[in-house]
Structure 1
Amino acid sequence: MSGKYSSTLVHRFLHWERVQPDAIYLTESTPEGRIADYTWREAGDEARRMAAWLRTQALPPKSAIAIMGKNSAHWIIADLAIWLAGHVSVPLYPGASAATTRYVLEHCDVRLTFVGKLDAAAEGWNAVRDAMQSHAPLVALPMSPPLPEATQWRDIVEQHAPLQDVHLPQPDELATIIYTSGSAGEPKGVMHSFGAIYAYAVESGAFCDFGTSDRVLSYLPLAHTAERSFVESNSLCHGFRVFFNDSLATFSQDLQRARPTAFISMPRLWTRFYQAVMGQLSVSQQALVHETSPAGDALRKHILAMLGLDAARLAFTGSAPLPTEITAWYRALGLELLDVYGMTENFSYSHYSRPGQVRPGYSGQAMPGVECRIDDTGEILLKSPTMMLGYYRQPDLTAQSRTEDGFFRTGDCGELDEAGRLKITGRVKEIFKTSKGKYVAPTPIENLLSHPKVESVCVTGAGYPQPFALLLISAAAREELFDTRSREALQMEMAALLETANAKLEKHEKLAFVVVVKESWTAENGCLTPTMKMRRRVIEERYMPLATKWAERGEPVIFEDA
């Protein structure tokens, strides 16, 4: 690790604790409806007291300690406590199944688990509770569900003095094991060093020009690399304030309270924001958004304030392209959505779109220190200062993931344009063969079916003469299904979308039909990962038994409920 990255996030936290102890670091709403603020001094005091208790537990050095819970101030404080005591943190998704939870706990030999805020979506805490190992005690964070068998965080911090001789890690030390969300197969334990996550914060912070006056809203899962890097790592490194979203019901209110200066979201949420606003505007107001006039300026400012994004100077998106109509709308508002590309293995640090250089469908240029090349098969190969140490207890898999000269095999297919911007064209393993023996890459076709009323697309059809597409439409568009004329209009829109897409495809890629599915795809029903990526295998298992019947109908647009 070069001198540029010779510090760690622990050192940076201790710096902010010393130089701005009374500045507010973390802000969240409590179940009672009050707002709780934690200064850097208060966060440090609780983290040090918990670290002191951890030292009394006689755990082996660098023990794996899990954190399960929704995002909260104490999620980050618990992570700090683990590091200050010299241990390794292992995030667990609050909605993970009992089987996944048991696998992670056993795979990395978790010695203790912090349990935080959960909700109905993490259903069946009781089922997960059974997966907890008997030798791994529980500590209940504030706002956790009732856990009579757990030691309470509040009791611990009241009974222990703050630890003074905290562990100061070296950059090459293991900091965390992040288990991939598992869109296919068992989760893999990605090991990241303190140096790698600090390198992310240094370079990301330079790109974003972060300072202590910045604000972010934490709502994507902290158990996932995107939020862990963007929110936790950047805030610890650059000393800015973090607000937490309590629930989906309070999202708008929490966003307006935070008024973030930098905001990251997924395409589905950017689409939902757009649809919610457009549903409240008249036709003349919708046109006014794009007008250069005092009235247009006033409306744009009003919309951004209504969204809570009036202070945002940076807005990021990723994981899938957005319809050009939606990106143009945000640009008209004054928000240029910057597409980014990264993954768990490189701590979400690879390619970022540069302001003023955005190309629709591309994820921007390589960040400083990142080397990228495309191999003969079209796979994207990367080197990065943030690259993982390897997969925990899987040396063979680690070796397979790297080329002889040390590049990481991403599993993504892509291409570079003349400006070095990267376009993701699919997954190496997602390509399927039709009954005619032709290979089809689904992702580029899915991108052609981008539409403001379509939330998600899955192109499939292995073993059929031609591929077809499953369309998940927005909640507002689903309302149109209950009115005959609106349903017919929607059918015509989807037929036009199909025709436009097919006109751009090779003969063997042309879609036989599209199906508007009945039920939403969610993390709860297994169709999405916790970070809202499609679980293609689950979706295909669910719908392929109906494919023959649909194909026999010979219709371009099929409604599943029909």
Structure 2
Amino acid sequence: MSETQTLIESRPPSVATLFLERVEATPDAEAYRYPVPPASGQGPDDWASLTWGEAAQRVFAIAAGLVELGIEPEQRVALASNTRLDWILADLGIMCSGAATTPIYPSTNADETAFVLGDSESRVLIAENAAQLAKAREHRAELPALAHVVVIEAADARPAEDDPEGWVISLAELERRGAERLEKTPEVVRDRVRALRAGQLATLIYTSGTTGRPKGVRLLHDSWSYMSRAIAATELVRPDDVQYLWLPLAHVFGKVLTTGHISVGHVTAVDGRVDKIIENLPVVRPTYMAAVPRIFEKVYNGVAAKAREGGAAKYKIFRWAAGIAREYARTAQDNYRRTGSRSVPLKLAAKHKAADVLVYAKIREAFGGRLRACVSGASSLAPEIGYFFSGAGIHILEGYGLTETSAANFVNPGEAYRTGTVGKPLPGTEVRIADDGEILLRSPGVMAGYHGQPERTAEVLEPDGWFHTGDIGELSPDGFLRITDRKKDLIKTSGGKYISPAEIEGRFKGVCPFVSNILVHGADRNYCTALIALDEPAILKWAAERGMEGKEYAEVVADPHTVELIDGYVRRLNEGLQRWQTIKKFRLLPRDLDVEHGELTPSLKLKRPVVEREYKDLIEAMYQGTRED
């Protein structure tokens, strides 16, 4: 048996066990960094640290506090908060108590929050602040199982006049009660951890729902223990790494990063405030970071916009450097695949060196100057964006996974990564491609099923453990997976041609530095059209340079000059497409798509049915007066 197989197959029954092992092995090593706002409220944040031993003190107090509240193994404890240190400690505390975490996005509205709390039968809600408390309070009468709300922000833990006695307490109070319980029964938490079995429920995580009501996905303790060990076995993350974690922890992608952290034992800097990313990167100086593709697209658009602001000469240099980056990345990756060396021709290497001084070094510095690798997941990254960053020395390792498979199933293997693929399966994960191109997965990370929905479970999970992902893909002879589309998103034109909207949308994001979101439409039509939302900061800067300073976004996108600008990029896109794939008409949307309007999931995936329904009139207008038969 190989060392990797031994590492995975000898895994303990739970991440809670792994956590205790980590604390015992490196109690004084730094585990977490977190921001501390200045007392004055002005100026940059300070950053504080927590060792594994110090983290364990809080985790044990939270776990014992939950036991004191009467929480039993596998009962659900909901967690509604932005990404912060308290989220991670609370999640570990829940698991160490034997209970199961039900994460809820803090952006979820009150009705949907009540649905998740009720469907999961959560006994306790750990809420970040008054806003999350208010959602539970609004629907309290419909949630008889919800016995307590624990509020992280102590100042917001204010009971209302009609709240039941003890219904609202602060996290600090929960930890105080837990510390008292530990004084009386010191082994209470360790006893709960020792009693955990691999097949017990650890997480009931609800899908973000691109269509319909979210489904509760039952993930077992063994799923996370396997993920933790499998991530460590890839050796992509090292004990001396500093990870910058800002992704939403209510999403399975963020959650799995906290799991891998325990096995590897590196430092994780935690701050979920997206508006602080640019400010934090030079301070944290991460060596490793995960993100969704939209973040890399925004960085690329921002760099391009800044170059344009510098004048025609500077923008020309940027475009030249971007072309060199892509050529360099493609050549280096192709050579590595053939020879195992990333060497490139001397002439290209010389151009790349000059472009590095002029452009790439500044981009790397903006990321903190030490970034060894980024992992991109949750949706597909436009290859042209990936090649640009690869050539600039920001190595984006695309990965793939689903909520139902504990997030991490494929990832690109370090130096051998291939842009445009999601890499190879993690150790212990099996893959096969069905006759219709659907990707099937089997691993210990696959869910136990959908909560209370055996019929829906049977639709996707075969008795022998194979899970139907709903994604279409291709495997290379040496095992690299390329995702081509969601099975349900493939469209068939009235002419009988099958089209992958995601492929066209990804290509456009690589061509147009102003795009934020794009939806390609063409099912049962004779040609394809597109709804395009632009990146507001980028297009407003462009508009200001052309005499439209001070105009609102909606005014700018309605201007003929803007339409002409985007039309040029659509034409460039069409040059590289088959005739039946080309975009014949498009419309610019009056605002960007967002989570608040329900057009994007919290992980920024496009909700196609919602967008098509909301902008039905714009779509129909693009086909009026045209023969489609």
SS of equivalent residue, structure 1 residue 6 = coil
Of 454-463 and 264-273, more deviation after overlay is shown by: 454-463
Of 477, 485, 506, 1:426 maps to 485
2:469 equivalent to 1:458:
no
2:21 equivalent to 1:15:
yes
* CA–CA distance in structure 2, aligned partners of residues 553 and 305 of structure 1: 53
Partner of 2:400: 341
Amino acid at match of 2:211: A
Amino acid at match of 1:69: S
Of 204, 207, 210, 1:177 maps to 204
* CA–CA distance in structure 2, aligned partners of residues 42 and 73 of structure 1: 12
Shift of 1:472: 2.0
TM-score (normalised: structure 2): 0.80
* CA–CA distance in structure 2, aligned partners of residues 517 and 208 of structure 1: 44
TM-score (normalised: structure 1): 0.89
**Identity percentage of aligned residues:** 27
* CA–CA distance in structure 1, aligned partners of residues 300 and 288 of structure 2: 18
Q: Deviations over 1:470-513 (max 9, x none)?
A: 12222244223563799767545533443454455555544331
Partner of 1:152: 170
SS of equivalent residue, structure 1 residue 94 = coil
Report if the CA contact (8 A) 2:293-2:381 is conserved.
yes
2:186 equivalent to 1:126:
no
Partner of 2:227: 200
Q: Residue 453 and residue 388 in structure 1: after superposition, are their counterparts in 2 closer, same or farther (change >3 A)?
A: same
Partner of 1:327: 386
2:115 equivalent to 1:88:
no
SS of equivalent residue, structure 1 residue 512 = strand
Report if the CA contact (8 A) 2:150-2:174 is conserved.
no
* CA–CA distance in structure 1, aligned partners of residues 499 and 114 of structure 2: 37
Partner of 2:30: 24
Of 350, 361, 366, 1:306 maps to 366
Partner of 1:543: 615
Q: Residue 502 and residue 148 in structure 1: after superposition, are their counterparts in 2 closer, same or farther (change >3 A)?
A: same
Report if the CA contact (8 A) 2:442-2:467 is conserved.
yes
* CA–CA distance in structure 2, aligned partners of residues 468 and 143 of structure 1: 51
Amino acid at match of 1:334: G
Partner of 1:559: none
Q: Residue 355 and residue 86 in structure 1: after superposition, are their counterparts in 2 closer, same or farther (change >3 A)?
A: closer
* CA RMSD, Structure 1 to Structure 2 (Å): 2.9
Report if the CA contact (8 A) 2:253-2:377 is conserved.
no
2:453 equivalent to 1:382:
no
Partner of 2:53: 41
* CA–CA distance in structure 2, aligned partners of residues 217 and 181 of structure 1: 24
Report if the CA contact (8 A) 1:97-1:128 is conserved.
no
Report if the CA contact (8 A) 1:115-1:141 is conserved.
yes
Shift of 1:415: 1.9
Of 277, 302, 323, 1:276 maps to 302
Q: Residue 131 and residue 518 in structure 1: after superposition, are their counterparts in 2 closer, same or farther (change >3 A)?
A: same
2:130 equivalent to 1:114:
no
Partner of 2:551: none
Report if the CA contact (8 A) 2:301-2:538 is conserved.
no
* CA–CA distance in structure 1, aligned partners of residues 483 and 137 of structure 2: 39
* CA–CA distance in structure 1, aligned partners of residues 409 and 526 of structure 2: 38
Shift of 1:109: 0.6
Q: Deviations over 1:297-352 (max 9, x none)?
A: 586444322222x2222212234444444333322332221111111111112222
Of 9, 14, 18, 1:3 maps to 9
Shift of 1:539: 0.7
Structure 1 unmatched runs, 5+ = 555-562
Q: Residue 279 and residue 449 in structure 1: after superposition, are their counterparts in 2 closer, same or farther (change >3 A)?
A: closer
SS of equivalent residue, structure 1 residue 5 = coil
Shift of 1:178: 1.0
Amino acid at match of 1:431: L
Normalized per residue, the structure richer in helix is 2
SS of equivalent residue, structure 1 residue 29 = strand
Partner of 2:344: none
Shift of 1:436: 5.7
SS of equivalent residue, structure 2 residue 414 = coil
Of 188, 191, 199, 1:165 maps to 188
2:90 equivalent to 1:78:
yes
Q: Deviations over 1:269-324 (max 9, x none)?
A: 1122223234444347635685454883586444322222x222221223444444
Report if the CA contact (8 A) 1:455-1:473 is conserved.
yes
Shift of 1:11: 1.9
* CA–CA distance in structure 2, aligned partners of residues 138 and 497 of structure 1: 51
Amino acid at match of 1:455: S
Report if the CA contact (8 A) 1:48-1:164 is conserved.
no
Q: Residue 17 and residue 521 in structure 1: after superposition, are their counterparts in 2 closer, same or farther (change >3 A)?
A: same
Of 182, 187, 202, 2:214 maps to 187
Partner of 1:558: none
* CA–CA distance in structure 1, aligned partners of residues 378 and 225 of structure 2: 23
2:58 equivalent to 1:53:
no
Structure 2 unmatched runs, 5+ = 40-44, 161-167, 308-313, 325-350, 549-555
